[in-house]
Amino acid sequence: MSSESALTIKLKLNNGIEAPAIALGTANPSESRPKVKETVKAAVKGGYRHIDTAWFYGTEEYIGEALAELFAEGVVKREDLFITTKVWPSNWNNPSRSIDESLKRLGLDYVDLVLQHWPLTFKADADGKPIIKDGNSVLDEDGDYLVTWKKLIELYKKDNKKIRSIGVSNYTIKYLERLLKETDVVPVVNQVELHPSLPQVDLVKFGKSKGIITEAYSPLGSGGAPLLKLPIVETLAKKYDVSGADVLVNYHVKSGRFVAPRSTNIERVTRGFKSVPLTADDLKSLDQEGIDHPHRYINPGFAKSVGYDNWGEEKPFK
C-alpha cells in the first residue's frame, strides 16, 4: 500500500536546524557492538542520515570507523548526516571532556546534537567513568544535574560550531519545569522511552508547548522487539500492508517526533522504514494501549531517583 520511505521525513528544531526524524539507535549489548560498523555503513547506504549514540554506549569508535569509510568512498559528506551523542551522569561536572572524547572516537570535529543522558549525577573515577558498587552506579549526592545543562549551554554559546544543538534525555515534566525556570536555553529534544506501551501523553504535550520535540527511544520495546506482538500493532500492520516495525516507527514520525530504532540486522537497516499514513484515530488507538496497560522496558536501578512510574521489571544496565 505504501512504498515511500519514512527515512526522508525531517523535523525542525527550535534553533532552526532540520534533522531526519528517524535515527539509527546504537545502544548495543557488548557482544554486538563490533557489528555497529557494518550496520552504520549499510544503514547510510540504505538512506539513514541520523545516528544516535552516546559516550556511554561503547559504539562511538565503530561508528567513527564506518563514517571514515563512508566519507572516503564518497557515499555521503559530513554535512549530509546528523549525529547525536550524549553526556553520561559520571561526567556531569565535565561535559566538555565527554564531548571531546566522543568527537575523537567518532573522528568528527562537530556533533549535531549533544544530549544530557540522564538528569542524574554519578560519582566518577579520574577518567570520568562511573564508580560501581554492588552492580550499580553510585549517585553523587553533592552534585546537581542542572549543572550539566548549564555547562552545555556555556559550551553551546561559546562554540556552536562544535556542538550544533543541545538537548536532554530522560527528563520528566518536573525536571523540565526546573530547567526552564532556571536556565535560558530550551532543549531542542527530550529523548525518553516512548512507544505504544508507554505513550507519555502528558510529557509529549508539555514538551510541544515549550518547543521541545520528544524523541522516542526503545520504540520496539528494546531487545527482541516485544512490541511487534501487540495486537494493535499487528492490526495496523495488516490494515496498511506494512511491517509492525513500520507501524511502531510511524507512530512517532506521524506525530512530529523523533524516533531511534536499533538494529544490527543488515537486511533490516538496508530496507529502512516505509511511510505509513496512520490516521489520527490509529494514533489514538496506539496511545490508548499504554494508557490502559502501561509498561516500561528500560529500568536501571539508578533511575528510581528520577521518580518514574509504571515500572516494568528492574534490569541491570550494562
Catalytic residues: 57
- The annotation status of 117 as a binding-site residue, yes or no, is yes
Contact set for ligand NDP, span 35-94 (CB under 6 A): 52
Cell numbers given for 43: 544503514
User: From the CB of 95, what's the least distance to ligand NDP, in Å?
Assistant: 15
**Residue 25 interacts with ligand NDP (CB under 6 A): yes or no:** yes
**Residue 233 interacts with ligand NDP (CB under 6 A): yes or no:** no
**Residue 264 interacts with ligand NDP (CB under 6 A): yes or no:** yes
Contact set for ligand NDP, span 151-180 (CB under 6 A): 169-170
Name the residue nearer to ligand NDP (CB basis): 195 or 254.
195
**Residue 249 interacts with ligand NDP (CB under 6 A): yes or no:** no
61-69, 127-135, 205-213, 221-229 -> range binding ligand NDP (CB under 6 A): 221-229
Task: Among 95, 221, 272, 290, indicate the residue that binds ligand NDP (CB under 6 A).
Answer: 221
Task: Among 98, 121, 165, 218, indicate the residue that binds ligand NDP (CB under 6 A).
Answer: 218
Q: Which residue is nearest to ligand NDP (CB)?
A: 25
**Residue 263 interacts with ligand NDP (CB under 6 A): yes or no:** yes
User: From the CB of 161, what's the least distance to ligand NDP, in Å?
Assistant: 25
**Residue 245 interacts with ligand NDP (CB under 6 A): yes or no:** yes
What whole-number distance in Å separates Cα of residue 177 and Cα of residue 41? Answer: 39
Task: Among 11, 19, 22, 27, indicate the residue that binds ligand NDP (CB under 6 A).
Answer: 27
219-228's contacts with Cβ under 8 Å and 24+ in sequence apart are 219/194, 219/195, 219/248, 219/249, 219/251, 219/252, 219/259, 219/260, 219/261, 220/195, 220/245, 220/248, 220/261, 220/262, 221/195, 221/197, 221/297, 222/297, 222/298, 223/29, 226/297, 227/195, 227/196, 227/197
Contact set for ligand NDP, span 278-307 (CB under 6 A): 298
Name the residue nearer to ligand NDP (CB basis): 121 or 222.
222
- Count of alpha carbons within 13 Å of 161, Cβ hemisphere only? 1
Nearest to 145 by CA among 92, 98, 96: 92
75-83, 178-186, 211-219, 229-237 -> range binding ligand NDP (CB under 6 A): 211-219
**Residue 26 interacts with ligand NDP (CB under 6 A): yes or no:** yes
Q: Contact letters (x/-) for ligand NDP, 176-205, by CB under 6 A?
A: ---------------x--------------
**Residue 148 interacts with ligand NDP (CB under 6 A): yes or no:** no
262 φ/ψ angles, rounded to the nearest 5 degrees: -110, 145
Task: Among 223, 284, 291, 314, indicate the residue that binds ligand NDP (CB under 6 A).
Answer: 223
User: From the CB of 178, what's the least distance to ligand NDP, in Å?
Assistant: 19
Give Cβ neighbours of residue 244 (< 8 Å, ≥ 6 apart): 227, 228, 229, 233, 234, 237
Q: Which residues lie near ligand NDP (CB under 6 A)?
A: 25-27, 52, 117, 169-170, 191, 217-225, 228, 243, 245, 260-265, 268, 298
- The binding site for substrate consists of 117
